[in-house]
């Protein structure tokens, strides 16, 4: 471990153990002497998160009732009540470049707002996604420029949807029009990418598994560090390490549960929790750790792949998701689809709650982050890419005013929102894809 004890610790301070490294959260000791901690808010750590919900939703259960103030929440959004003052719902955004309309283009256009080349082969072509434009600038100061996550472990190959190659289904993030970035769904591999150090993936894995816990390698350094920190910093370190230990324990339990299961499980590799919610919570908690330790500042997360036939028995929905999305206006099917939507939002709401509960500087991780949640499809029954279900959370340190519902009178490009988020992250462009302006309303006071 290397840190400065006379005046202040560098923000990029690491604990180092055998085969592992750990970045620390922002501490008061990292603020230069004679600099009030409150002043760090003038230049907050900028983070962008993008969470993709597949196959749209029932807009009647998504759209908040009322006017511009986010008062009563709709059924799908009800779990956001504890954080609604940090949330803005935006209605009537569209993805024109996703037409003529498909699941493949819903996924591929969500972050690119670009038209996917119609091909079933390897000559695919899309556009650089908003997260990667951000990563090329704000991601260069961190261990990982960006982190791409998903809940689906198997990559589809070949042709997946009306002449579109499966690459458009599999990947939200593209670092260039011809370079899709694969997402990781295995918690152990994500954990190792955050805390592994040096060598091949196999060598890092072997080093980490030699110990009962990642934190065992840092015992001496942690003891010395805590002696040199004030009470507030010791509390922050303790909370951070407790979270790391708990996440690691849950990964180990998932591995043990599968290893002790005498029945073969061909769909779920060792280490992935059996229940969707347990898996998703683990993936969200890894994102909290990644941001808290400033390991990365840009994250994308695909809650499920378009055309996913995943079932959700844990919430009483045994039907595959994709057939439910083509509900034919059957009220019973729409209700079950909406239950899946509500379930996904509830997991995102828990994530926002943890960001809000994590102190950083004179604010919280949620204050210093902007998170976009939504889908590239509006009405899934007809593969419509207008009136998308979209919300933005966080961003108070950047001036975002939450607790509102922005309703455009006419269809407006989703690219306008992407351009706005880039701008708030310090990446200033004149235009992104088919943008026609910015969503300035996100940062303006509500009219009385």
Domains in the chain: boundaries: 1-34+190-271, 44-185+275-443
Q: Is the predicted pLDDT of residue 209 greater than 80, yes or no?
A: no
**For residues 402 and 410, what is the distance between their CA atoms, to the nearest angstrom?**
22
**In the prediction, which pLDDT does 141 show?**
85
Residue 261 in 3-state DSSP?
coil
Q: What is the pLDDT of residues 301-336, one digit of tens each?
A: 999 999 999 999 999 999 999 999 999 999 999 999
Task: Select the more confidently predicted residue: 2 or 13.
Answer: 13
Nearest to 376 by CA among 76, 115, 47, 87: 115
pLDDT digits (tens, 9 = 90+) for 15-71: 776 567 788 888 877 765 444 444 444 456 589 999 999 999 999 999 999 888 998
Q: What does 142-207 look like in DSSP terms, one character per residue? A: SSSS-EEEES--SPP-SEEETTEETHHHH-SEEEETTEEE--B--HHHHHHHHHB-SS-HHHHHHH
Q: Evaluate if residue 211 carries a pLDDT over 60.
A: no
pLDDT tier, 203 (very low <50, low <70, confident <90, very high otherwise): low
Q: What is the CATH code for 44-185+275-443?
A: 3.40.720.10
Please state, rounded to an integer, the average pLDDT across all residues of the chain.
86
In this predicted structure, what is the pLDDT of residue 24?
81
301: closest CA among 49, 51, 47, 48?
51
Q: What's the full length of the chain, in residues? A: 448
Give dist(CA 280, CA 244) in Å, integer. Answer: 16
Nearest to 384 by CA among 4, 57, 42, 9: 57
Hey, what are 361's tokens? 């500087």
Q: In a 3-state reduction of DSSP, which class is residue 141?
A: helix
Per-residue pLDDT, 446: 57
Give residue 36's pLDDT.
47
- C-alpha span between 117 and 226 (Å, rounded): 55
Per residue in 397-409, pLDDT (tens digit) is 888 989 999 999 9
Between 190 and 362, the higher pLDDT residue: 190
Instruction: Classify residue 41 by burial, with Cβ atoms within 10 Å: 0-12, 13-18, 19+.
Output: middle
More confident residue, 413 or 362: 413
Residues in Cβ contact with 252 at an 8 Å cutoff, skipping those fewer than 6 apart: none
Q: Give how far the C-alpha of residue 257 lies from the chain's centroid of Cα atoms, to the nearest Å.
A: 27
* Residue 8: pLDDT band with limits 50, 70, 90: low
Hunting for tokens 């108070």 — which residue is that?
A: 396
């Amino acid at each position: 471990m290397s840190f400065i004890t006379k005046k202040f610790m560098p923000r990029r301070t690491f604990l180092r153990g055998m085969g592992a490294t750990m970045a620390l959260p922002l501490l008061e000791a990292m603020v230069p002497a004679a600099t009030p901690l409150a002043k760090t808010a003038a230049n907050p750590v900028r983070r962008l998160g993008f969470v993709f919900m597949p196959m749209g939703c029932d807009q009647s259960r998504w759209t908040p009732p009322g006017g511009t103030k986010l008062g009563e929440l709709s059924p799908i959004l009800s779990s956001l009540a504890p954080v609604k003052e940090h949330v803005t719902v935006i209605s009537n955004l569209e993805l024109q470049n996703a037409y003529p309309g498909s699941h493949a283009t819903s996924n591929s256009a969500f972050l690119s707002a670009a038209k996917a080349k119609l091909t079933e082969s390897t000559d695919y072509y899309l556009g650089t996604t908003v997260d990667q434009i951000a990563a090329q600038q704000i991601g260069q100061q961190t261990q990982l420029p960006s982190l791409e996550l998903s809940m689906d472990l198997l990559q589809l190959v070949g042709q997946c949807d009306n002449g579109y190659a499966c690459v458009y289904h599999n990947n939200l993030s593209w670092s260039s029009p011809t370079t899709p970035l694969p997402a990781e769904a295995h918690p152990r591999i994500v954990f190792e990418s955050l805390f592994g150090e040096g060598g091949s993936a196999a060598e890092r894995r072997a080093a980490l598994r030699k110990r009962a816990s990642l934190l065992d390698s840092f015992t001496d350094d942690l003891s010395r560090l805590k002696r040199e920190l004030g009470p507030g910093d010791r509390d922050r370190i303790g909370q951070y390490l407790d979270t790391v230990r708990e996440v690691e324990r849950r990964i180990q339990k998932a591995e043990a549960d599968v290893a002790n299961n005498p029945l073969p499980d061909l769909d779920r590799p060792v280490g992935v929790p059996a229940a969707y919610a347990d898996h998703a919570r683990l993936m969200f908690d890894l994102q909290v750790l990644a941001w808290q330790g400033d390991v990365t500042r840009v994250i994308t997360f695909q809650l499920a792949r378009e055309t996913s036939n995943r079932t959700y028995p844990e919430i009483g929905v045994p039907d595959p998701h994709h057939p439910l999305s083509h509900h034919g206006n059957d009220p019973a099917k729409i209700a079950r689809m909406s239950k899946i939507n509500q379930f996904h939002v509830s997991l995102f709401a828990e994530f926002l709650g943890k960001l809000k509960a994590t102190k950083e500087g004179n604010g919280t991780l949620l204050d210093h982050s902007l998170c976009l949640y939504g889908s590239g499809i509006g009405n899934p029954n007809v593969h419509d890419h207008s009136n998308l279900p979209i919300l933005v959370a966080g961003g108070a340190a950047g001036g975002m005013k939450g607790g509102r519902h922005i309703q455009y009178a006419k269809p407006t490009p989703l690219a306008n929102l992407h351009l706005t988020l880039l701008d708030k992250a310090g990446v200033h462009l004149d235009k992104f894809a088919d943008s026609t302006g910015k969503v300035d309303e996100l940062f303006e006071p509500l009219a009385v």
